[in-house]
Amino acid sequence: MEKDRADYPAAGSPFTANQARINWILHNGYPVTGTDQLATRLAGSGATLTGGLSTEEAIAGTQAAIWHLSDATDLDRENPVPGQASAGRDVLALYDYLTGPDNVGIGEQPTASLKIEPDEHSGVAGERIGPVTVRTNGSVEKLTADLPDGVTLVDESGANPDAAAVKDGTRLFIDVPAGTADGTASVELTATARVETGRLFVGQDYGEGNETQSMIVAESQTSQVTATASGAWPETQTENAVENAVATEETPPAPQAKNTSDLAETGASLLTPGLAGLALVGLGMVVLLVRRHRRHI
């Protein structure tokens, strides 16, 4: 069953205190990082491998590093892999890299987020409605706008933005030309973000000699989030109102005879946009943590 990492079953183990460093190993050890890439990193750190790093060596070195931080179980440096001296040197090199100074820890990773603020806007024809500000920790990959004829979506410079131009903090406007009939417009953004976290799964122990394995899952998946916003506007004036206003300026009415009943009322109607955000996180690569209180591996 899945447990919070604070509920790691080995009471008194250093697992809780070392969660960030264990999480770093999950994301930088095998299998999230392949054997060739690990071999390159080890060579860059000054380690000498015997013919590269095999899958078996990568598994052993990664798990030994995790056990060291989760259960204070140290690798036997004199005999890391009994009977296999060359493999032992490779395992020890990876173990030292994963538990060494490069391991600065990785905390809990944020979920993907996307918002368009504020969540409602209105205005009048003849001006830009907005701004709305994009807030995201991902990359905007899709932008769609439902706009009446003549109405455009613009950024602060007046350009029509595409998805690649929209970043965290981008401000967008709905540009409504004067004389545009009452209407509404909407915009939808879709962003993706990579989310990596560690999840703990704990089995049930059935007595001495029948302990089960605990597993930590290193998740690495692209999550997608969508947000929408919309705006509304009335016309500033009707054509008849404009004509009447011009006639009034050319021929002043008699005292007490001024009639403004033909002038259209102006105002603002609010349209509350729908705003949705879904963070979908799936399972990624699995690294097993065998809970054994042993002195050597």
Answer yes or no: are the C-beta atoms of 295 and 73 closer than 8 Å. yes
111 or 21: which leads in pLDDT: 21
CA angle in degrees (0–180, nearest 5) for 274-278-281: 175
> In this predicted structure, what is the pLDDT of residue 109?
67
Is residue 107 very low, low, confident or very high in pLDDT (cuts 50, 70, 90)?
confident
Of 199 and 19, which is predicted with more confidence? 19
Question: What amino acid is encoded at 88 in this protein?
Answer: G
For the domain made up of 2-108, give the CATH fold.
Answer: DNA polymerase; domain 1 (1.10.150)
**What percentage of the chain carries pLDDT values higher than 70?**
64
**Angle at the Cα of 219 from the Cα atoms of 213 and 221, rounded to 5 degrees:** 155
Alpha-carbon gap, residue 226 to 20, rounded angstroms: 30
Amino acid, single-letter form, for residue 143? L
pLDDT at 286: 35
Q: Can you name the residues that pair with 289 across neighbouring β-strands?
A: 214
Q: Is the pTM of this model over 0.85?
A: no
- Number of Cβ within a 10 Å radius of residue 278: 11
Residue 35 confidence (pLDDT): 95
Asked if 2 contacts 200 with a C-beta cutoff of 8 angstroms, the reply is yes
- Report the chain's C-alpha Rg in angstroms: 32
Q: What value does the mean pLDDT take over residues 249-254?
A: 46
> For all residues of the chain together, what is the average pLDDT?
75
